[in-house]
Structure 1
Amino acid sequence: MMAKADGIFSKLRGKVGGVVFYVVDGKTYVRQHIDEPKISEPTPLQQVYRNKFGMASHFLRPLKIPIEFGFQAFRKGMRTGMNVAMGYTVKNAFYGGGVDPLQLIPAQVKLSMGSLTGARNAQVSWVDDEQVSFSWENNIGEGSAGHFDQAMLVLYNAEDQRVEYVLEGDFRSAGQQEVKVLRGKEHEGKLHAYISFHHYSRRYKTREFSDSQYLGMV
């Protein structure tokens, strides 16, 4: 809050008690002095958490579309799927931070979460210079696995943050699907591969997911 100073106060300059006097165009003004909060150095534990958060954000940001799809059951109010995925990654997908250098482990990252039965014996390989094949066994009837479960397939080059994905892919019974990779030769050996299944309930108008599975690099 600022006010003009008159009378004897017009001669004052600088801080007096809890107010500050200063001159603008020959006129004296007064405003309340507010101490800036002191920012203390983070503790080692706080710094590790900040580093984890920064690394997780950098890794997950390009995966926003598949993550929001795969974590849609967790969205509520201001909470997004990315919020949930970030929390899980920070808590579960890191190694080191003390004596050992802090490392994010892509195999521990989840792009979807849920109770639906996942893929059995899933594998990934290049078909040609532009296509990667995902394959899995038909495990319909195992746990909650059903015929109309659809695959979500993701390929992610974390080095240049390039993502290829299929959100509503082939049915579980198909056992295989190919994903096109633009300029595939540039990404060969650099793509992290993830697979999960999901099922839409017309009755409840909700989509149930399996936990995503990491298939390695291709």
Structure 2
Amino acid sequence: MAKADGIFSKLRGKIGGVVFYVVDGKTYVRQHNDEPKIGEPSPIQQLYRNKFSMASHFLRPMKIPIEFGFQAFRKGMRTGMNAAMGYTTKNAFYGGGIDPLQLLPDKVKISLGPLTRAKNAQVSWADDEHVRFSWENNNGEGSARHSDKVMLVLYNAEDQRVEYVLEGSFRSTGQQEVKVLGGKGHEGKLHAYISFHHHSRRYKTRSFSDSQYLGMV
């Protein structure tokens, strides 16, 4: 893979034996191979394909919060979703041999980073339309600041519906409610995730905590 400059930066699609891609306004080029693959995949290859397919199906509806939470891992043609897919296929599966292959939602991450995580985070229904997340203000522990902002995700994997807040309350606030379209029709089906992030005006970067899975609500 290479970055295309000059007149090549205006090209799109396949030309001869190369393909031009655009990611974040930049054009990249890589070689295209028209030769079909021969033979059946090995057991290891098939296991990876199965993991990739299951991970893609689970993560795709959460693309917006995942791209936000994995923004530090973007590089060239590598997107936040690419990074999340790689993490999920390596860390969020069980089985695949004697036991059936299973994706484990509690091992999935919607963000990764060095920021101090939420302390004693909990989630519950506040009323028929809102879910409340709460946590302790652990300002001063590790890298935690009172001005860190919370990111929240509620995900019904059965219906592939997602509710999220990217830049919510401050860490010092201790709680945030999320409105759920359809309300308690989703009760008991929503996977809940929480993480914090901090924006540095000086360096124009945003650091995240590893997200935490709070169970289903």
In the superposition, the TM-score normalised over structure 1's length comes to: 0.83
Gaps of 5+ in 1: 1-35
Q: Which amino acid aligns with 1:117?
A: T
Which residue pairs with 1:29 in the alignment? none
**1:44 aligned residue:** 43
Measure, in 2, the Cα distance between the counterparts of 1:112 and 1:37: 36
CA shift, 1:186, in A, is: 1.5
Structure 2 residue 169 is matched with structure 1 residue 170: yes
Alignment partner, residue 89 of structure 1: 88
Which residue does 1:9 correspond to in 2? none
C-alpha displacement of 1:129: 1.0
Deviation for aligned residue 1:44: 1.1
Question: What pairs with 1:36-115 in structure 2 (closer than 5 Å)?
Answer: 37=36, 39-115=38-114
Task: Name which one, 1 or 2, has greater alpha-carbon Rg.
Answer: 1
Q: Distance in 1 between matches of 2:42 and 2:98?
A: 16
RMSD (Å), alpha carbons: 0.9
Q: Which runs of 5+ in 2 are unaligned?
A: 1-34
**8 Å Cα contact 2:137/2:146 also seen in 1:** no
Partners of 1:135 and 1:155 in 2: CA distance: 14
Q: In the aligned structure 2, how far is the partner of 1:89 from the partner of 1:45?
A: 17
The reply on whether 1:135 has 2:149 as its aligned counterpart is no
Closer, same or farther: CA 38–210 of 1 in aligned 2, 3 Å = closer
- Matches of 2:171 and 2:189 in 1, distance apart? 26
**Shift in Å at residue 39 of structure 1?**
2.2
Q: Using the alignment, how far apart are the partners of 1:38 and 1:205 within structure 2? A: 44
DSSP 3-state at the match of 2:124: strand
Change (3 A) 1:85 1:37: closer
> Cα–Cα, structure 1 residues 38 and 117, in superposed 2: closer, same or farther, change >3 Å?
closer
Tell me, what secondary structure is at the counterpart of 1:76?
Answer: coil
1:115-194 paired onto structure 2 within 5 Å: 115-194=114-193
Secondary structure of the residue aligned to 1:128 is: coil
Q: State the number of aligned residues.
A: 183
The answer on whether the counterparts of 2:195 and 2:212 sit within 8 Å (CA) in structure 1 is yes
State the SS of the aligned residue for 2:142.
coil
Partners of 2:117 and 2:36 in 1: CA distance = 50
CA contact (8 A) 2:137 2:171 kept: yes
Asked if 1:216 corresponds to 2:215, the answer is yes
Percent of matched pairs sharing the same residue: 83
Query: Given that residues 151 and 195 in structure 2 are in contact (C-alpha distance below 8 angstroms), is that contact kept between their aligned partners in structure 1?
Result: yes
Give TM-score scaled by structure 2 length. 0.83
How far 1:161 sits from its partner (Å)?
0.3
SS in 1 for 2:66: helix
Per-residue CA deviations over 1:136-194 (Å, capped at 9, x if unaligned) read: 00100000000110000000000010000000000000000100001112210000000
Counterparts of 1:55 and 1:91, CA distance in 2: 12
